[in-house]
Amino acid sequence: MRLKISARKSDLARLQAYRVAEALKKKHPQIEIEFLFKESLGDKNLTDPLWKIPEKGVFTEDFYNELVTGATDMVVHSWKDLPTELKPDTLITATLPRADQRDLLLVKKADFSKIRELKKIRIFSSSPRRAYNLAPFLRETLPFSLDGVDFESVRGNIPTRLRKLVESTEVSGLILAKAALDRLLAAPEEEFLPAQELIRNALAQVDWMVLPLSVNPNAAAQGALAIEIFSQREDLKKLLQSINDPICFDSVLKERGVLAQYGGGCHQKIGVAVLPRSYGAIQICRGLTDSGVKLNQNEVLKESKHKFAESEMWSGSSESFFTREEIKFQGIPSGTQALFVAKSSAWPKGLSYSGILWTAGINTWKKLAKLGLWVHGTQDGLGENEVQHLEILAGKKLNWVKLTHEGGVQSEGKKTLATYRLLPKSKAEVASAEIFQGKKSFFWTSSSQFLRALELEPSLADKNHACGPGNSFQIIQDKLQQLRPDKANQVEVFLSTEEWKQKCKN
């Protein structure tokens, strides 16, 4: 069998076509593949921002006639480039495993002093979604005490945009889809060496920041590939199912379905991310619709099995059960390349650190930024088991150290460094707060909080429990498995106390 695979001529589009061909040949070694690359309308018009170009599918429409006439067998697209309304005689029949769907901010280190002086930063990005969602966030998370964040339109492929950033005397930052950079840097083909060299040279001149999905959800389908065929090609439908990733395919369809509710199109100030997890699919949607409706959704797409009166529900901080005592800081171990900060209170006073800095959540990020620290990203409150996907960007496997409290959870792949200890409060001190009285449902912000409460009040094992994802969920579930196996599988995961109250309140 001989197949023709089409794509745009850009570096990124070509290597995406190569990855589809590679997956097909791995499953079907007898297949011969020919590549057809050409420019699209979006490649030819590099002046107007995409949202100002009236035509739909500026990167994809030019391939339509080739599919329906049989001049090509399939077209590989970046799925986010496709209009939400497809033509009736073509279809997307498969996708590969998704790359990182987050955005990446690059800021020139040489401009740091200028940014601090002006208290303002100018960033290259043509996306209304990014401008709307990120302007307020970056004022709090960049370590410059900013008063303003302005966005400048930019067009061109990845090397072109990086070159524009490096050469600009007015603009200090650039936002890209992280998947694009990761794919280019990981490409094994020699033809991508010039692009890789340009990217690495640019990365040496910037500091980078992986932007959290809870604040800046991706463009619908970002990081996913779409394989489009003529709808009557039954042979290709069967063939392509052998390489299809159904989890990615389903997530992308959900994202595009949400965007379609508001009209679709790259002019929209809307981001939507679907994250399939073992405890349920997370859906994040943020932005502003054309009619002026503000969207702000961040939840696990499932309802609670239990309902309670508000007076029967309890949530609170670890201060309800512990007091904090600092431990004399002995310094960061030599060879450390990345620091994971579990809480802002774990950061030793006066510590200076220039390596990769990562936080458990966004509140910790904001507090560290106020100390003048550059934070590279966050677990976004989803737990330490979330994969950071940093090795390609960093160009090496990282040696991690986790700053936490004494007795904190040992994390795989991270050395633990205690900077403070939690001193348990007495039962009298805790009981005086009437935490347990009349309560039937509890939301725990940490496993330490839950375990101490259980020591003080063993009957808590009979109650209903909820927490965020990650280590806390696993530890609470394991403990209940020992004490009350019937309760262990009822531990529920929510992304916040607000979501827990909303879904469990009777």
Over the stretch 196-244, which tens digit does the pLDDT of each residue have?
999 999 999 999 999 999 999 999 999 999 999 999 999 999 999 999 9
Q: Which residues pair with 35 in a beta bridge?
A: 5
Question: At residue 473, does pLDDT exceed 50?
Answer: yes
Angle between helices 193-203 and 178-186 (to 10 degrees): 130
**Contacts by residues 132-139 (CB-CB < 8 Å, ≥ 24 positions apart):** 132/269, 132/287, 132/288, 133/215, 133/216, 133/217, 133/269, 133/271, 133/286, 133/287, 134/105, 134/175, 134/211, 134/215, 134/216, 137/211, 137/215, 137/216, 138/105
Instruction: Print the SS3 string covering 73-116.
Output: CEEEEEHHHCCCCCCCCEEEEECCCCCCCCEEEEEEHHHHHHHH
Q: What share of the chain is helix, strand, coil (3-state, %, to 5)?
A: 35, 25, 40
Question: At residue 324, does pLDDT exceed 60?
Answer: yes
In angstroms, the CA 495 to CA 503 distance is 11
In angstroms, the CA 445 to CA 321 distance is 12
Give the CATH number of domain 322-424.
3.40.50.10090
Q: What are the distances in angstroms from CA 65 to CA 42, 155, 226, 240?
A: 17, 26, 17, 21
Mean pLDDT across the stretch 32-39?
93
Question: At residue 58, does pLDDT exceed 80?
Answer: no
- Worst-scoring range by mean pLDDT, 38-52, 80-94, 141-155, 451-465? 38-52
Residue 331 CB: number of other CB atoms within 10 A? 9
How do beta strands 280-288 and 103-108 pair?
unpaired
| Topology (CATH level 3) of domain 2-100+220-298 | D-Maltodextrin-Binding Protein; domain 2 (3.40.190)
Q: Binning pLDDT at 50, 70 and 90, where does residue 400 land?
A: very high
- Model pLDDT, residue 318: 84
Reported pTM: 0.92
- What is the location of CATH 3.40.50.10090 in the chain? 322-424
- Model pLDDT, residue 432: 67
In angstroms, the CA 373 to CA 129 distance is 26
The model's pLDDT over 248-293, given as tens digits with 9 standing for 90+, comes to 999 999 999 999 999 877 688 999 999 999 999 999 999 999 999 9
Q: CB under 8 Å to 96, separation ≥6 — which residues?
A: 19, 20, 23, 224, 225, 243, 245, 248
Q: How many CA atoms lie within 13 A of 325 on its CB side?
A: 7
- What is the location of CATH 3.40.190.10 in the chain? 2-100+220-298
- Model pLDDT, residue 347: 96
- Enclosing H/E stretch for 15: helix 11-27
In angstroms, the CA 147 to CA 51 distance is 27
CB 28, CB 239: distance < 8 Å: yes
- Model pLDDT, residue 53: 42
Burial of 497 (0-12, 13-18, 19+ CB in 10 A): middle
Q: What percentage of the chain has pLDDT greater than the value 70?
A: 95
- Model pLDDT, residue 360: 96
Average pLDDT, the chain: 92
Mean pLDDT across the stretch 451-473?
94
Question: At residue 4, does pLDDT exceed 70?
Answer: yes
- Model pLDDT, residue 40: 63
In angstroms, the CA 96 to CA 90 distance is 19
Query: Is 3.30.2410 the CATH classification of the domain at 103-211?
Result: no
